[in-house]
Amino acid sequence: MDKNNIIGFLCIAAVLIGFSWYNQPSKEEQRKTFVQDSIAQAHKLESEKTAKLAQTQKQEEVKKNVLEDTTALFHAALQGNAQKVVLKNNKIEITLNTKGATVEKAVIKNYIGHDIKKKDGSNDKKDVTLFDGADQSLNYTLTAKEANISTSDLYFQTSGVTDSTVTFTAQAGAGKTISFKYVLGKDYMLHMQMSAQGMADLFAPNTQNMDVNWKDKARQQERGFSFENRYATLTYHKTEGGTDYLNESKENVDKSIEEKIDWVAFKNQFFSAVMIAQNDFQENALMTSIPQQKGSGYLKQYEAKMKTFFDPSGKTPSKFDFYYGPNDFRLLQKIQNESKFNKDLQLERLVYLGWPLFRIINRWFTLYVFDFLTGMNINMGIILILITLLLKLITYPMVKKSYMSSAKMRVLKPKLDAATSQFSKPEDQMQKQQAMMAEYSKYGVSPLSGCLPMLIQMPIWIAMFNFVPNAIQLRGESFLWIKDLSTFDPILEWNKNLWLIGDHLSLTCILFCISNVLYTLMTMRQQRDQMVGQQADQMKMMQWMMYLMPVMFFFMFNDYSAGLNFYYFISLFFSAAVMWALRKTTDDEKLLRILEKRYNANQNNPSKKTSGLAARLQAIQEMQKKQQEEVHKKQDDLNKKKKGL
């Protein structure tokens, strides 16, 4: 990027900022708009409240009529006392309610349940409550001939109750029932089948589906609200394969999903509630995800409105599996084998590993290394250091190649200055570039040979950016001063939320940014040593932008997990150490002698042609020079014609 480009970008930015400022409404207009919006919002809320009240009154009236009619469908099941039934194993405890016959509470054992109101962790519990009470609801609606049947309104009778099984039954009339049978697996999977008996005549002959309405307010489970909220998403799996999710930062209301799906997940950063249908959820399911305010104790308001298979005759039950558990990649691979639906559910996709390229790196390299190291039962902080060392060892040959390319250009700088000294005018820059390329070619040096190896390392950085925040193994793990590697490590906290910074300063983020500044100083100094002429001037102009990046990183990463910031800090530390060691062990005089020997060999072999990248660059420059000459020639001819006239 040259001086003109930078000036151009600054001018564009100035125009945009000025235009935005000029066109912004006055304070009076803003207040008028605010008042109008407030009135409109109040009218909207009042209308919704009135409509909801009318609907509730209508439902109550219908329910009252049914209760008064002793022959009405589900007359007895519409009244009763709600009771709780608990299913449990050593991994999870699930509480079901006889009203609606659905799960009202899920407690995941052996994972720390943070009390987000207590920052010191003094009130933390040993288990995680995924949801409880009104946080979650699930209703199945059956469309009968005379009226719709909502299972959430029914009181069920229980039978066959053990620690792992229960059957709920609601009486619709003589010989007419709806039943839900639950079986808790050995881990986190809950199996359920729903069936009707003696009710075929209550439905139209072509009835083959029912409506499912599932709601959930995802609780904030971690102390870093903003960071956790980035990874809390409504995720679903397409029957044909592949997962997708609603935008985690935007409000999505009744978004239609065109494809068939076989499961939908209400996902937190580290835990999920998943509903799986044996016979799929039909096309055009409506999904809702609404971000909640910080301090509310919740991350998202989820809702899924779906249709799935239902057989009124009772010959074929509707089967579902529910997963309430941690987002652990290996565990999810194992858990889906407990499902008896013979589907490739790809539940492990709940652990986001990045875009395809980065996912491949994490899936087939990082995970295996991580599994091997965690199997050694060593501290997670040490594991991050070992992973960093391994990655540095793998990329060392590329780093060395990049450094040696820079070192060659550094020792050749005096010769390049001499070879290009006659091209000092701005219009001579093309010739200067060609002279430089010719000089590099004589010494067998490619100025871009070190760029590709450095670019290859970028996917690793980005892959770890996706891997570390989703590694549940880091949750609750301490290292040195860090109490929890999965969230920020505050060196200073306050109650007010400040713009860009938030309510804390993270120590690992500060260390990462400081190390980034120091590493930038090293690399910029190395690049200055090899720049020639105008390149050196341009580099001076770019320095402030390079130093500004660590400051930008601070505002970006202050909310991020201490584990991720610590990894980047250690990675930069080792990168600086490698660069320092290479600089100390490189003999510039010896390197120059080697290059001069290569130069002499090339001089003695005049038939040897420039090849590779240097040849292509030289060809491009020659073509540009030829085009410029043609333009100048046409301009000269035009000027001659004008003079002749």
Note the pLDDT tens digit of each residue in 155-167.
999 999 999 999 9
520 and 379 share a domain?
A: yes
368 and 494 share a domain?
A: yes
**C-alpha to C-alpha distance for 392 and 386, rounded to whole angstroms:** 10
Q: Count other C-beta atoms under 10 Å from residue 220's C-beta.
A: 22
SS (H, E, C) 244-284: EECCCCCCEEEEEECCCEEEEEEECCCEEEEEEEEEEECCC
339 and 399 share a domain?
A: no
Please tell me the predicted confidence (pLDDT) of residue 75. 77
Phi, psi of 173 (to 5 degrees): 160, -170
**C-alpha to C-alpha distance for 353 and 522, rounded to whole angstroms:** 32
**C-alpha to C-alpha distance for 234 and 264, rounded to whole angstroms:** 7
Q: Which pLDDT tens digit goes with each residue over 23-37?
A: 455 555 545 554 454
Radius of gyration of the chain (CA): 34
Closest residue by Cα to residue 197 from 182, 178, 212: 178
The DSSP letter of residue 156 is P
pLDDT of 597 > 70? The answer is: yes
Specify the higher pLDDT residue, 577 or 14: 577
Q: Which pLDDT tens digit goes with each residue over 367-401?
A: 999 999 999 999 999 999 999 999 999 988 888 88
Closest residue by Cα to residue 289 from 201, 214, 211: 214
Q: Count other C-beta atoms under 10 Å from residue 481's C-beta.
A: 10
Show Cβ contacts of residue 550 under 8 Å, excluding neighbours closer than 6 positions: 513, 514, 516, 517, 520
Instruction: Tell whether 343 is covered by a domain.
Output: yes
Domain CATH number, residue 344: 2.70.98.90
Instruction: Tell whether 11 is covered by a domain.
Output: no
Nearest 5°: CA angle at 205, between 182 and 140?
A: 30
| DSSP states along 67-130 | HH-TTSTTTGGGS----EEEEE-SSEEEEEETBTTEEEEEEETTS-B--TT-TTSTT-BSSEEE
Please tell me the predicted confidence (pLDDT) of residue 571. 93
Q: For residue 316, what are its two tokens? A: 């074929």
User: Tokens 């920020």 map to which residue?
Assistant: 488
402 and 498 share a domain?
A: yes
Percent of the chain whose pLDDT exceeds 70? 79
Q: Which pLDDT tens digit goes with each residue over 546-556?
A: 778 888 889 88
Domain boundary among 352, 378, 404: 352
Instruction: Tell whether 3 is covered by a domain.
Output: no
Task: Report, as an integer, the average pLDDT of 411-416.
Answer: 80
- What region does 284 belong to: left with phi over 0, alpha with psi -120 to 50, or beta? left
303 and 380 share a domain?
A: no
Mean pLDDT value across the chain: 83
pLDDT of 499 > 90? The answer is: no
**C-alpha to C-alpha distance for 623 and 8, rounded to whole angstroms:** 26
What's the domain count of the chain? 2
CA 482 to chain CA centroid, Å, is 23
- Beta-sheet strands, E only, within 98-238: 102-108, 128-132, 136-143, 148-150, 157-159, 165-173, 176-184, 189-197, 209-219, 234-238
Specify the higher pLDDT residue, 204 or 638: 204
Q: For residue 538, what are its two tokens? A: 């341009």
Instruction: Tell whether 1 is covered by a domain.
Output: no
Please tell me the predicted confidence (pLDDT) of residue 609. 53
277 and 369 share a domain?
A: no
Residues spanned by the domain of 327: 73-352
342 and 376 share a domain?
A: no
pLDDT of 588 > 90? The answer is: no
324 DSSP β-pair partners: 273
Instruction: Tell whether 630 is covered by a domain.
Output: no
Percent of the chain whose pLDDT exceeds 90? 50
